Structure 1
Amino acid sequence: MTEDPVIHVIHPTTHDLGGFKVHRTLPSRPRTMVGPFIFFDQMGPAHLAVGEGIDVRPHPHINLATVTYLFDGAIDHRDSLGTVARIDPGAVNLMTAGHGIVHSERSPADQRAQGPALSGIQTWIALPERFEEMDPAFEHVGADDLPIVTGAGVSARVIMGSLWGTPAPTTTYAGTIYADIELDAGGVVPIDADADERAVYVAMGDATLDGMTLEPQTLYVLRPGAAMTLRSERGGRVMLCGGEAFATPRHVWWNFVSSSRDRINQAKEDWKADRFPKVPGDDQEFIPVPEVPKTVSYP
């Protein structure tokens, strides 16, 4: 008897942020992490009105790295290191919080003038304990610098780690695989069994896994050690994520991730007391610590 290729199905929690929706599958009650991935959000797709845009005010992070990847639109990133960087589709922004960083994300002025598109994935990577309190860092890798692996009816951009033997230049802190797989109508691609933990997510279109229909905006955690085949009948876009299994648990509260709950409580107090660094050029606003955050780990 063939074993089910999927061990967890994680349906999204959807938040309407006014003009666009965010679908969140990690962290969740069924599962907090897949490899180092501890947060998985799909933004949009949406097209905002002329003159509007996203304005994510300055907010803090600790003990994690954010990974921003767009399908459409653009975002201006600023952080407390003094970084100013625009991300466009196909590129990746990797911001490593380490012992603490603050950043903002806003629609560029030229995008607002035409009514900005917004479509993409933002994930967080938990840092191994030896890197949790490292110095903050920022890395932008352009679309032309991320390798694309092609096959019959398939084009896959390797965002982090290595896919089918082709590595991305993006920094990793633990074993990581992250790829954007575009399938034409009738496209077929193998999903290797190398990583400790893996998941697939249909961002657009349709796909099946070993004959099992995959619902959009749903995270499917795959059985370890099992090779399987991804197909699309009409065309689809599938994210593959995963990597090294962590031996120790991670806790999530609001924008903070850590192996220590005490460290998260300290970060809360530091943000309330204005002890985090400022974002140059964007220091007049901030997001306060919420009474009840939307992002938490379970239990």
Structure 2
Amino acid sequence: MTWMPGNDPIPGDAGACDVIDTLIVPRARDLGGFEVRRALPSAKRQMVGPFIFFDQMGPAEFLETGGIDVRPHPHIGLATVTYLFDGEIHHRDSLGSDQVIRPGELNWMTAGNGIVHSEREDAARKKTKRKIFGIQSWVALPKHMEETAPAFEHHGLHALPVVSDGAAEARVIAGELYGARAPVSTASETIYADITLNAGGRMPIDATHEERAVYTVDGEIEISGDKFGPGQLLVFKPGDTITVKADAPARFLLLGGEPMDGPRYIWWNFVSSSKERIDQAKEDWKQMRFDTVPGDAEDFIPLPNK
């Protein structure tokens, strides 16, 4: 499909150009062979829509060593969202889900009242030269959904709708964009899309969602005459229609949705509107009351001492 031109802010007009509420440049942390950059939560912002955790892992290349090997660990009160640009990860969880995720696919795991999962690279893959690059994020659940039953959804490359005008392309991961709706079930109004621009490409982003941000992945984008390179989270002010441009090929993620119904507490892998619920989850994991992961039940990550 072809997009109609958006109302682009006018360079030099302070009122029009002032569309960015918060700019977050996450610091890189070395996790033993590859970097992770955490954009949310930050000192500047806890959430954008329901997104409360947003990590970029990689890009990295492994040479028959290292890699992704996350032992079974618990979650409550959130949904984990895994989306890869390169590489693959083997997901298993306490529901019995057993799924390898590859680039352009979506793993959406709703923790609700409690789930355990592991994320590893298969042994055969570890013996090869390989890459890993992707985003792991969490979305908080509304208060009335925090204690829902856990669930898991996987949607393959061709299940996620794509809209394009030849110069810009958007793969809709969650929610709806330009009339295309992703198949995943979300607990609140959410938008999440993987957008690529060719040289000279433009992507209008309207004000449908109150909270919106873009995370720059590759190349350089331009907004209102200002340019932004990879690894930055740009949180927009509500109510402004903007246009993202690129002079050369670029890639970014659009994320956001309706504001969450109040602040959230976050401790380790637990998210909740209640401190007491998090304390209960700590004790439950310590006392091994969570379910185990079929096929990966021999190991686990202990409760941190913090």
Using the size of structure 1 for normalisation, the TM-score is: 0.95
- C-alpha displacement of 1:285: 1.3
Superimposed CA distance per residue, residues 191-236 of structure 1 (whole angstroms, 9 cap, x where no aligned partner): 1111010000101111111222123211110010100010112211
Deviation at 1:115, TM superposition (A): 2.1
Q: Equivalent residue for 1:208? A: 222
Correspondences of 1:211-290 after superposition (within 5 Å): 211-290=225-304
8 Å Cα contact 1:74-1:108 kept in structure 2? no
Rounded to whole Å, the distance in 2 between the matches of 1:48 and 1:132 is 37
- Look up the match of 2:107: 93
> Paired residue for 1:35, among 49, 70, 77?
49
d(CA) in 2 for partners of 1:188, 1:218? 19
Shift of 1:109: 3.2
Letter in 2 for 1:69: Y
User: Shift of residue 111 of structure 1?
Assistant: 2.5
What does residue 15 of structure 2 align with?
Answer: 2
Contact 1:69 1:89 in 2 (8 A): yes
The equivalent residue for 2:91 is 77
Contact 1:65 1:96 in 2 (8 A): yes
Corresponding position of 1:149: 163
Which residue of the other structure, out of 34, 37, 40, is the alignment partner of 1:20? Answer: 34
- Among residues 122, 128, 131, which one is paired with 2:145 in the alignment? 131
2:69 aligns with one of 46, 55, 73: 55
SS in 1 for 2:260: coil
Aligned-pair identity in percent equals 55
Residue 4 of structure 2 is matched in structure 1 by: none
Offset at residue 59 of structure 1 (A): 0.5
Confirm or deny: 8 A CA contact 1:104 1:282 kept in the other structure: yes
Deviates more, 1:272-281 or 1:112-121: 112-121
Paired residue secondary structure (1:247)? coil
Contact 1:154 1:182 in 2 (8 A): yes
- Asked whether the equivalents of residues 52 and 116 of structure 1 are also in contact (C-alpha less than 8 Å), the reply is no
In terms of Rg, which structure is larger?
2
Q: Report the CA distance between 1:50 and its aligned residue.
A: 1.7
Deviation string 1:37-82 (CA, Å, 9 cap, x unpaired) is 0000111011111254210011000010000000010000000111
1:259 partner amino acid: S
Q: Which runs of 5+ in 2 are unaligned?
A: 1-13
Q: In structure 2, what residue type is equivalent to 1:162?
A: E
RMSD: 1.1
Aligned-residue offset at 1:172: 0.8
2: CA distance, partners of 1:122 / 1:83: 18
Instruction: Check conservation: 2:76, 2:113, Cα contact below 8 A.
Output: yes
Aligned to 2:194: 180
Asked if 2 retains the 8 angstrom alpha-carbon contact of 1:20 and 1:43, the reply is yes
Distance 1:204 1:109 in 2: 30
Distance 2:155 2:43 in 1: 33
Alpha-carbon distance in structure 2 between the residues aligned to 1:153 and 1:291? 50
Segments of structure 1 that go 5 or more residues without pairing to the other structure are 293-299
Q: Which AA in structure 2 matches 1:38?
A: I
Q: Which residue of 2 aligns with 1:291?
A: 305
Work out whether residues 107 and 116 of structure 1, in 8 Å CA contact, stay in contact via their aligned partners in 2: no
Counterpart residue type for residue 262 of structure 1:
E
Partners of 2:23 and 2:280 lie apart in 1 by: 34
- Superposition TM-score, scaled by structure 2 size: 0.93
Contact 2:218/2:229, CA 8 A, preserved across alignment = no
For the Cα contact (< 8 Å) 1:52–1:115, is it kept in 2? no
Q: In the alignment, which of 68, 78, 84 is matched to residue 82 of structure 2? A: 68
